[in-house]
Amino acid sequence: MRTIGAQALMTLLSHFVFIFVAFWSIQKLHIENFMRLYPSQAKVLIVLLSVTVGYTCSEFFLNFIDNVRNLIFLVK
């Protein structure tokens, strides 16, 4: 049970870190300059893009780590 809890904590932490990095990066693009008529929608777009990109990158990272851990069964 402890390993499941640790894995859940690692998953949540990974998602939050990758979403934060994506949000920080996408903010630097200044999308609101391209959508001058709709500044509030531009902010929502930044948040949605950040969640999408961050979650996708986090899932890739976690799947990669899981696959690397499973490589040991190839040798046994």
Q: For residue range 6-65, what is the model confidence (pLDDT) as tens digits?
A: 999 999 999 999 999 999 999 999 988 888 888 899 999 999 999 999 999 999 999 999
Token duo for residue 36: 């001058």
Q: What is the 3-state secondary structure (H, E, C) of the chain?
A: CHHHHHHHHHHHHHHHHHHHHHHHHHHCCCHHHCCCCCHHHHHHHHHHHHHHHHHHHHHHHHHHHHHHHHCHHHHC
Q: pTM for this structure?
A: 0.87
φ and ψ of 63, to 5 deg: -65, -40
